[in-house]
Amino acid sequence: MLKQRSFLIETLTALGLILAPFVLPHLGFAPNTVNRILVWGLFGLGFDILFGFTGLLSFGQSAFYGTGGFVAAYLLTRAGFPNVMLALLIGMIAAAVVGYLVGLIALRRTGIYFAMITVAIAEVFFFVEFNPLSGWTGGENGLPGVPTPSFNLGFTTVHFTTGWSLYQFLALCYFVGVVIALRIVRSPVGAILSAIRDNPLRATAVGHNIHGYKLAAFVIAAAYAGFAGGLLGVLQAFMPPDAFTFDTSGQLVMQTAIGGRGTLFGPLVGAAVWLFLQDFLQAAVGLGAAWKLVLGIVFVLLVCFLRRGIVGGLEDLYRKIVGKRSKPSEVSPPAVASSVGAANQPKAAQASTAAPISARARESATRIGPILQATGLTKRYGGLLANSDIDFTVLHGELRGIIGPNGAGKSTFFKMLTCEVPPTSGTIVFEGRDITGTSVTNVCQLGLTKSYQVNQLFTGLTVRENIVIAALAKLRGKFRLDLFRSLDSIPGLNAQVARTLELVNLAARPDTPVSELAYGEKRRLEIGLALATSPSLLLLDEPLAGMSPQERVETVKLLKSISRDRTMIIIDHDMDALFELAERVTVLQEGRVLIEGTPDEIKKSTAVQEAYLGGVQGVLDA
């Protein structure tokens, strides 16, 4: 059932590509226009993985399009290389290598910086193409005379020339491109890319090396661009220097946004709209040079009102009509990633309720001695001393509470323990290993993570997908390029996810988008994300914050059951709950440890009472 579903898109794509030559001419599309659309569509497949799925908006894709195109065209024209396909592949590899090097620089920054850097780097390629390398690239003249492909099949030679003949070759390339892209977005890597788009901070915190994955997405996009660039030369018998211009990048971005980002087919649709309007407005309407103004206005309106472009809009419309909002539609590859698991999830969940969350959790429960030891931990922000000389030890299997008035430095303390911020001085030893100064990702991989005070969820994904992201970190390590592996084939993933959903009591709503969850459910999912990484030490930053009394009771129960298998440290302001849960409690005040002891000892401590509300009696007993 599941397999059928996932092959549906491939089948529909193949069907569409086969039918296109019979249908499109009647809609006014010439074969050359269709071929161009396919090249843009293929270029866009990689770009959509980068932009739509990973959230990295690059305005510099022309650099890779041009690189792949010119390497292939150079081989075919000047170097006298006979094999078109091989030249295209070499061009693609060259573009991917260049993409890797550029990515190393561009991905040093994110967001707007990233966009600016990609623009600038693409410009470098443009100028380099025109000046130092013009002997190879022909400079402004480009490289004319690129041949078309032919294949010797032994008994006969297939030669693709122009028009619909070349279409067959391009359609085949596009189909293979789609199949590969679908495999990638359905793979664990694809799932993590979406997580990076939605919440890079949390993707890092659950133990993924997001820099590595971003770089992977960048290289994938560059490879697609390189291959498409090569095809452009084949299509036109001419490799134009225009491939390197900023306009090319801009057009790709606009086409993707018009068609719909994060849909894989968006760029193809966007290119169809673009090229159709270009012809139509210029030829039929007679707008002449004003055609680009009309396209510009259309683009601005789409960005304003139809965020997900044409394909995304149709998808939403389809869901509205069918009324199955949580079910993924058939043409939506991003949703497919969820459907993979969704389809057989209930069964898996039943089968695995009894399964342990991980070997490590069990193991840790049997250990004795300290799991975490912080010595002399100090954090200074400029002149402000957030934490000062904190010594702190937690034993295996313990459930420790931390309280303290606002501004006592509790959250900073947690951030240092999970290595989100480096301490100014002091050391942290986790399970006998000095983790001071390592990254939050590595620490999570070692088995130490936290749930956040303010929800840090992957808001664009469903409940189950959220948990999958976290579980993947544990099962696959922090970085692994299993681009073609199906999520289902990862041993233990479904069991792990099901068990986590059970634990945080969300097993009934696995396919609900995060945006539709109630607040209490989101808090539980927040804890679930941390749990799914199978931590041996789990830090919880105000897990009860903002909950109704009813929700608090449930959550306390939940925390108790979680604590059976692991060591936990909880910060909270709800002292009743904390005293009920914790075996020992540490009180922080003004960045120092005020006192540490059993709940009873804390309750009786006058120092603590003074710290809170200046010693008003009975507050803590109330």
Q: Which stretch binds other proteins (CB under 8 A): 301-309, 413-421, 555-563, 610-618?
A: 301-309
- Count of chain residues binding other proteins (CB under 8 A): 66
Closest to 588 (Cα-Cα) out of 391, 415, 428, 416: 391
Q: Under 8 Å CB-to-CB from 564, ≥6 apart: which residues?
A: 365
* Burial zone of 390 (CB within 10 Å; 0-12 exposed, 13-18 middle, 19+ buried): buried
How many whole angstroms separate alpha carbon 316 and alpha carbon 310? 10
Instruction: Answer yes or no whether residue 292 interacts with other proteins by CB under 8 A.
Output: yes
Pick from 144, 405, 513, 597 the residue near other proteins by CB under 8 A: 144
CB of 288 to other proteins, least distance (A): 7
Q: Which stretch binds other proteins (CB under 8 A): 286-294, 311-319, 366-374, 552-560?
A: 286-294
Closest to 477 (Cα-Cα) out of 444, 436, 439: 444
Pick from 6, 137, 236, 453 the residue near other proteins by CB under 8 A: 236
CB of 131 to other proteins, least distance (A): 4
* Burial zone of 544 (CB within 10 Å; 0-12 exposed, 13-18 middle, 19+ buried): buried
How many whole angstroms separate alpha carbon 396 and alpha carbon 394? 7
3-state secondary structure of 211: helix
CB of 438 to other proteins, least distance (A): 21
CB of 254 to other proteins, least distance (A): 7
Footprint on residues 386-405 left by other proteins (CB under 8 A) = none
- In the bound state with other proteins, the residue whose beta carbon lies nearer, of 51 and 413, is 51
CB of 351 to other proteins, least distance (A): 39
Asked if 520 and 548 count as a contact pair (C-beta separation under 8 A), the reply is yes
Pick from 10, 212, 242, 595 the residue near other proteins by CB under 8 A: 242
x/- site string to other proteins, residues 155 to 184, per CB under 8 A? -------xx---------------------
- In the bound state with other proteins, the residue whose beta carbon lies nearer, of 392 and 452, is 452
The two three-digit tokens of residue 183, written as one number: 């495999």
Instruction: Answer yes or no whether residue 317 interacts with other proteins by CB under 8 A.
Output: no
Asked if 614 and 405 count as a contact pair (C-beta separation under 8 A), the reply is no
Sheet holding 399-403, edge to edge: 448-451, 537-541, 567-571, 399-403, 584-589, 592-597
620 φ, ψ (degrees, to nearest 5): -75, -20
- In the bound state with other proteins, the residue whose beta carbon lies nearer, of 256 and 496, is 256
Footprint on residues 116-135 left by other proteins (CB under 8 A) = 116-117, 119-121, 123-124, 127-128, 130-132, 134
Pick from 40, 43, 47, 51 the residue near other proteins by CB under 8 A: 51
Pick from 83, 168, 282, 425 the residue near other proteins by CB under 8 A: 282
Pick from 33, 168, 326, 505 the residue near other proteins by CB under 8 A: 33
The two three-digit tokens of residue 427, written as one number: 């050391």
Q: Which stretch binds other proteins (CB under 8 A): 186-194, 232-240, 369-377, 484-492?
A: 232-240
CB of 136 to other proteins, least distance (A): 15
Distances (CA, A) of 87 to 66, 148, 227, 236, 258: 14, 11, 10, 16, 32
Instruction: Answer yes or no whether residue 30 interacts with other proteins by CB under 8 A.
Output: yes
3-state secondary structure of 378: strand
Distances (CA, A) of 119 to 54, 116, 122, 253, 512: 18, 5, 5, 12, 38
Pick from 27, 153, 304, 368 the residue near other proteins by CB under 8 A: 304
Q: Which residues of 330-346 are buried (b: 16+ CB within 10 A; e: fewer)?
A: ebbbbbbbbbbbbbebe
Helix (H) or strand (E) segment spanning residue 360:
helix 359-366
Footprint on residues 90-119 left by other proteins (CB under 8 A) = 105, 108-113, 115-117, 119
Site residues, other proteins (CB under 8 A): 30-33, 36, 51, 55, 57, 59, 105, 108-113, 115-117, 119-121, 123-124, 127-128, 130-132, 134, 139-142, 144-145, 162-163, 236-238, 240-243, 246, 250, 253-254, 257, 279, 282-283, 288-290, 292-293, 295-297, 299-300, 303-304, 307
